[in-house]
Every structure is written in C-alpha cells, then in structure tokens.
A and B are shown apart, each in its own frame.
Chain A
C-alpha cells in the first residue's frame, strides 16, 4: 500500500495528473475541436501505440546520437577553453556570437551541406546542444578552486590524474544540468527538423496530424513527445544520481 502511495505521490505522476486536469478544464471551457478530450486522445494514443513507438524511436535515435556527439566534442573543447586563458580569449567570443543564434535557422544550410536525411537533423540538434555544453563545461572548469590543482600536484600526479580526480568530477553536475536544458530545447526543435524529408519521427507525426487537422492525433503525438522527454530526463536524473553521489 505504501509503495503504491509513494508511486502516486511521486512528482512525475502528480505533474502528469495536474496537466490532464488543466487540459480537461480547457477542453470544457473553450469547447473547440482544436482541444480534444483527454480521454479520447489517450484512447487514440493506446490504439496507435505501435506507429507512435516507431516515430518515438526515430526521434530518440536522433537525439541520442546528437547528445553523444555533443559530449564527445563539447567536453574536451569546454575543458580546453576552461584551462587555457589563450584559448578562452580566442574561442569564447566565438561561442558568445554563435550561442544566442536560433540554430533552427541553419536547418536549410545543414540540409544543403549534409543532405535531407538523418545527418542534417542530427547536426542541427548537435549544434543546439554542443555550445550550451561547451559554455557550461568551460565555466565549471573555471570554477574549480585553484588549490585543488595544487593538491593533486602535491601527489606528483600526471595530467591524466588531474582530469580523473579533479576536473571531471568537478564539472559532472554542470554537464548534467546543461544536458537537461539542451535536450529540452532539441526535443522542441524536432518539431521543425523532422518536418522535412522524413516520414519518421515524432515531430513529423505531430506536424502531419496538424496539417490533416486531426487534433486527436496531434495531441497523441504531443503526449508521445512528452513521454520521450520524460524518459530522457529520467535517464539523466538516474545517471546524475549514480555518478554524483556526493551531491
């Protein structure tokens, strides 16, 4: 009984129930076809679960590839900028210029350069995630108290130990919060990215339903997108809990 109670009062189902309630109230008050009934939408969602899972899988694959690439590129570059004043001087102004630009504006350029397939979509998301990650990592490295470097030096530690024992653990919390923010943004961008030259992806599913003015289907797609986001955030939370147990 207490386990059931704990599960029900967990912030995630609680939040989900609140959204359903607000949605239901809007459905009753506004009474328009563009806001379908929650029950009807969930009914549609479960009846079309199989195609939805395929669309979610296609989107998930794009996001995961983009995140992995962003970590592989953003982490070393961010660390290098954080550690080297000269690099910081050269690269930080560049990051400040690129970071605030809405990356979705580059979609036509990426499509022209990398084709209409998955590559251009992944690169768009990579572009969204990587600069955020670089800046967070850079700031994380800069915030490491200087005497931590003296401490590790006092053990005659080679460079690899400096990264293993000081730099990486110090920036891990920043990496997770940066990923949380940028994954949220990149999921929202799927809406645009998957509207071109693909028939798979949750963004495509939502826009296609919108064009057909099938709002029940569109809302099913939105539920699937939220579910995808929740799974990704859940994985990040779990990894953070496991990898930063001191927090």
Chain B
C-alpha cells in the first residue's frame, strides 16, 4: 500500500539551527502515530510541517499524493491550548470550520454540528462560552471543531496535557472510538508515555542527536488495555528507549 504521508529528505533549519536533517518518514492511512521525545527535539515542529504552517528548508512532504506547500483543507489541527476563541459558544466554534469551508451547504451545518456535539456528549453545553466550560468539556468542543469537516488527517499537539487523570482517560477513549469510526490518519505529540502507548498504533521516538526510531505499538484489532501487563511492559520499553537517547538507531 502506498503511504498516505511521506517526508523525503526533509531539512528544517531555524535561526541557523538544524531541527531536522534529511528526515525520511512514511505514514499509512488510517493509523494513529504518537510522536514522543524530550523537549526541544522538534515534535511540534514536525506537526507544524505536516500542517503546512511552516515550510521545510529543503526536501518534500506529500500527503495523499499531493506536495504540501500550504495548509490543507483536509488536515485538522488540535492545539495544545485548544485555541478556542473566548467569543464563540460551543456551537459557533464547531460551526466555524463548516462556514469557512468552501464546498459546504450552509443549511446542513446546524444538524451536522448538533449531531457531532451529541456524539461527544456536550450538546447540553452548546450555548456555553469557553470560560463556562470545564477542561474536559473544552477539550470535547475543540475536538468537535477539528472533526466537523471530516478531515483525513488529524494532528494533535499534546491534546490532553492540561487535563486531570480521569478526564484524560475519558478523552483518550473518546478519541479511539472516533478514530475507529472515521478511518482518518492521526499524528499526535505527547510527553506522556502511557498516552503514546495507549493511543498510538506506532510510536515515533525523536532523539536529541537527530536520530529517530519507530516502535510498533499494538495491533489495533487486539487493542491494548491499560490493565494488562503487556501495556506496562510496552511503556517500560518506550521509556528505556527514550533514556538510551537513540544510540544505535536511525
């Protein structure tokens, strides 16, 4: 199968500092990829390159066969701070991407938004502003906003970092349910090893020496429950690889 995303010899320099030097990656359609690594290694930069927010210094990124030169309409981005505007209610926030999108029929927007808010259990908060919502509710609104246009690629920058443990697990499960329904490709950055193991089909470890390493995480059909020994073994393995700092890997 042809990869959905390819990065070919991607170099990215900023302020004279090389963040990526000839990065080559292939990502398949419908899979969840976790990107993990120490701070400053370029995790968010990788997401920004995939999103088209920034351009590589050299090399090429292709998504669904097309070279990425700018932001794609079929790519959605879930920001670390969620990026909800204080002046938009949940409904307005979720409706916005549909109104911006060129090929949408406006009269359908209301029902699409209500359906999505309902599936994320936040329909009763549809008229609330961000400051009236809890962290978990805000997260669901932001998730609904990214999913409403039915993207083929979802990029998430530390999506649950601001949540308490219980809400985090609920949102993670919700994400997995949505992911299996929609068959989209998801790439997310996290500092949380458990999150990377629980959500990711594969984990991309970025190391400070510029090396990177792929870890096959789980077979989606089998699932990887948190309560199993296999889950904690995998977490331990990922931690160990991070500690090794990519020695011997490329």
Given A154-B53, A155-B97, A156-B71, are A169 and B83 also a contact pair (CB < 8 Å)? no
> Is the beta-carbon distance between A150 and B97 smaller than 8 angstroms?
no
> Is the beta-carbon distance between A157 and B51 smaller than 8 angstroms?
no
Given A154-B76, A156-B73, are A166 and B85 also a contact pair (CB < 8 Å)? yes
Residue of A nearest to B149 (CB): A155
Given A153-B53, A154-B51, are A165 and B79 also a contact pair (CB < 8 Å)? no
Residues in B with CB closer than 8 Å to A161 are 99-100
Q: Which bucket holds chain A's interface residue count?
A: 10 to 19
Query: Which of A153, A154, A170, A246 has most chain B Cβ within 10 Å?
Result: A154
Query: How many Å from the CB of A102 to the closest CB on chain B?
Result: 36
A163 at the interface (CB under 8 A from B): no
> Is the beta-carbon distance between A147 and B79 smaller than 8 angstroms?
yes
Query: How many Å from the CB of B153 to the closest CB on chain A?
Result: 12
Q: Please measure, in the bound complex, the distance between the C-alpha atom of A158 and the C-alpha atom of B71, giving whole angstroms.
A: 11
Mark interface residues in A137-161 (1 if CB within 8 Å of B CB, else 0): 0000000000110110111111001
Main secondary structure, interface of B, reads loop
> Is the beta-carbon distance between B53 and A169 smaller than 8 angstroms?
no
Residues in A with CB closer than 8 Å to B86 are 246
Q: Please measure, in the bound complex, the distance between the C-alpha atom of A148 and the C-alpha atom of B81, giving whole angstroms.
A: 10
Mark interface residues in A162-183 (1 if CB within 8 Å of B CB, else 0): 0001100110100000000000
Mark interface residues in B83-98 (1 if CB within 8 Å of A CB, else 0): 1011110000000110
Residues in A with CB closer than 8 Å to B72 are 156
> Is the beta-carbon distance between B83 and A246 smaller than 8 angstroms?
no
B188 at the interface (CB under 8 A from A): no
> Is the beta-carbon distance between B100 and A151 smaller than 8 angstroms?
no
Q: Please measure, in the bound complex, the distance between the C-alpha atom of A246 and the C-alpha atom of B129, giving whole angstroms.
A: 6
A34 at the interface (CB under 8 A from B): no
Query: How many interface residues does B have (CB within 8 Å)?
Result: 23
Q: Please measure, in the bound complex, the distance between the C-alpha atom of A15 and the C-alpha atom of B18, giving whole angstroms.
A: 65
Q: Please measure, in the bound complex, the distance between the C-alpha atom of A14 and the C-alpha atom of B51, giving whole angstroms.
A: 57
> Is the beta-carbon distance between A150 and B53 smaller than 8 angstroms?
yes
Residues in A with CB closer than 8 Å to B129 are 245-246
Query: How many Å from the CB of A141 to the closest CB on chain B?
Result: 15
> Is the beta-carbon distance between B77 and A154 smaller than 8 angstroms?
yes
Our pick among B85, B99, B100 for the contact of A156 (Cβ within 8 Å) is B100
A244 at the interface (CB under 8 A from B): yes
> Is the beta-carbon distance between A148 and B96 smaller than 8 angstroms?
no
Q: Please measure, in the bound complex, the distance between the C-alpha atom of A87 and the C-alpha atom of B59, giving whole angstroms.
A: 35
> Is the beta-carbon distance between A165 and B96 smaller than 8 angstroms?
yes
Residues in A with CB closer than 8 Å to B88 are 165, 169, 246
A residues 112-144 in Cβ contact with B at 8 Å:
none
Residues in A with CB closer than 8 Å to B73 are 155-156
Query: How many Å from the CB of A52 to the closest CB on chain B?
Result: 40
Residues of A whose CB lies within 8 Å of any CB of B are 147-148, 150-151, 153-158, 161, 165-166, 169-170, 172, 244-246
Given contacts A161-B100, A246-B86, 19 further A-B contacts (CB under 8 A): A148-B83, A148-B85, A151-B77, A151-B85, A153-B53, A154-B71, A154-B77, A155-B96, A155-B101, A155-B149, A156-B72, A161-B99, A165-B88, A166-B85, A169-B87, A170-B87, A244-B87, A246-B129, A246-B131
